């Protein structure tokens, strides 16, 4: 049972107050996109053993979506941050790199 800090409320929220939303930073493909791009957008998800970027919603709190950088093996949380970004902010990337210098970075 995870706890994640809601970057909006500032509270450490219990997993039961949250709703997981899968991989973060997906790029939406709409009309005009190729079949491959659209299929990737709809169905292809990363499933890394290690550092992962996820979407979470503070569903019984402020109702806001946020992002979390988390390790799927150790469950360590490197940080939570605004959902209103297309890639992880520098501070989060640095926090991950500090723990895992070998990490190849977010792509």
Partner 1 sequence: MSNAVSALQGASFDGYCKVEEAGLTGMITLRGELASAGVAKAVKAVTGAAMPGQGQITEGAKGRAGWMSPDELLLIVDHADAPAVVQAASTSLAGEHALVVNVSDARAVFRVKGAACREVIAKLAPADTSVMQPGMLRRTRIAQIPAAFYLEDDETAVLVCFRSVAQYAFDLLKDAAKPGGEVFG
Partner 2 sequence: MSTRLAQGGRLIDRSKPKNFTFNGKRMKGYEGDTLAAALLGENQMLVGRSFKYHRPRGIVASGAEEPNALVNMGQGGRFEPNQRVTTTELFDGLTCTSQNHWPSLEFDVGVVNNYAARFLPAGFYYKTFMAPAAAWKHVFEPIVRQSAGLGKVPTEADVDRYEHFYYHTDVVVIGGGVAGLAAALAAGRSGAKVLVMEQTHHWGGRAPVDGGEIDGQSVEDWIAATLAELEGMENVTLRTRMMGSGVYDHGYVLGYERVADHTPGDGRPRHRLWRIRTKQIVTATGAIERPLSFAGNDIPGVMLASAVRDYVVNWGVSIGDRTVVVTNNDDAYRTALALKEAGLEVPVILDARDEATGPLAEAARDAGIRVEPGRAIAKVNGGKRVTGVSICLQAGEGAALEEIPCDAVAMSGGWSPVVHLWSHCGGKLIWDEAQAHFRPDPDRAPTGHDGEAFVVTAGAASGAMSLADTLENAYEAGKTAAKAAGGKAVRKAGPKAEAEEAQPMAPVWIMPQGAGPQKRMKMWLDYQNDVKVSDVQLAAREGYESVEHTKRYTTLGMATDQGKLSNINGLAVLSDALGQPIPATGTTTFRPPYTPISFGAIAGEARHEIFQPIRRTPMHQWHEEAGAYMEPVGHWRRPYCYAKPGETNEQAVHREVLNTRERLGLLDASTLGKLIVKGPDAGKFMDMMYTNMMSTLAVGKCRYGLMCTENGFLSDDGVVARIDEDTWLCHTTSGGADRIHAWMEEWLQTEWWDWKVYVANVTEQFAQVAVVGPNARKLLEKLGGMNVSKETLPFMQWADGKIGDFDARVYRISFSGELSYEIAVPASQGRAFWDTLLEAGEELGVMPYGTECLHIMRAEKGFIMIGDETDGTVIPQDLGLNWAISKKKEDFLGKRAQLRSHMTDPARWKLVGLETLDGSVLPDGAYAVGEGDNVHGQRNMIGRVTSTYYSPTLKKGIAMGLIKHGPDRMGEVVDFPTVDGSNTVIKARICDPVFYDKDGEKQNV
**Cβ closest to partner 2, residue 38 vs residue 47:** 38
Q: Which residues of the shown chain bind partner 2 in the complex (CB under 8 A)?
A: 1-4, 12, 14, 21, 28-33, 35, 38, 41-42, 55, 57, 59, 63-65, 71, 74-77, 83-84, 99
List 84's β-bridge partners, or say none: none
**Cβ closest to partner 1, residue 2 vs residue 38:** 2
Q: In whole angstroms, how close is the CB of 90 to partner 1 at the nearest point?
A: 22
Matching residue, tokens 């992002």: 67
17 near partner 1 (CB under 8 A): yes
Instruction: State how far the Cα of 91 lies from the Cα of 96, in Å rounded to an integer.
Output: 9
Structure tokens at 89: 């902010």
List 77's β-bridge partners, or say none: 70
Q: Which DSSP category does 54 fall into?
A: E
Structure tokens at 72: 């799927």
List of residues contacting partner 1 (CB under 8 A): 8-11, 14, 16-17, 59-64
């Amino acid at each position: 049972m995870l706890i994640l800090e809601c970057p909006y409320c500032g509270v450490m929220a219990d997993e039961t107050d949250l709703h997981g939303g899968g991989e973060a930073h997906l790029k939406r493909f709409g009309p005009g996109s190729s079949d491959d791009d659209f299929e990737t957008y709809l169905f292809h998800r990363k499933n890394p053993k290690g550092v992962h970027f996820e979407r979470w919603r503070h569903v019984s709190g402020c109702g806001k979506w946020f992002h979390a950088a988390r390790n799927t093996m150790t469950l360590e949380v490197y940080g939570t941050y605004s959902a209103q970004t297309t890639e992880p902010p520098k501070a989060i990337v640095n926090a991950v790199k500090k723990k895992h210098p070998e990490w190849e970075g977010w792509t």
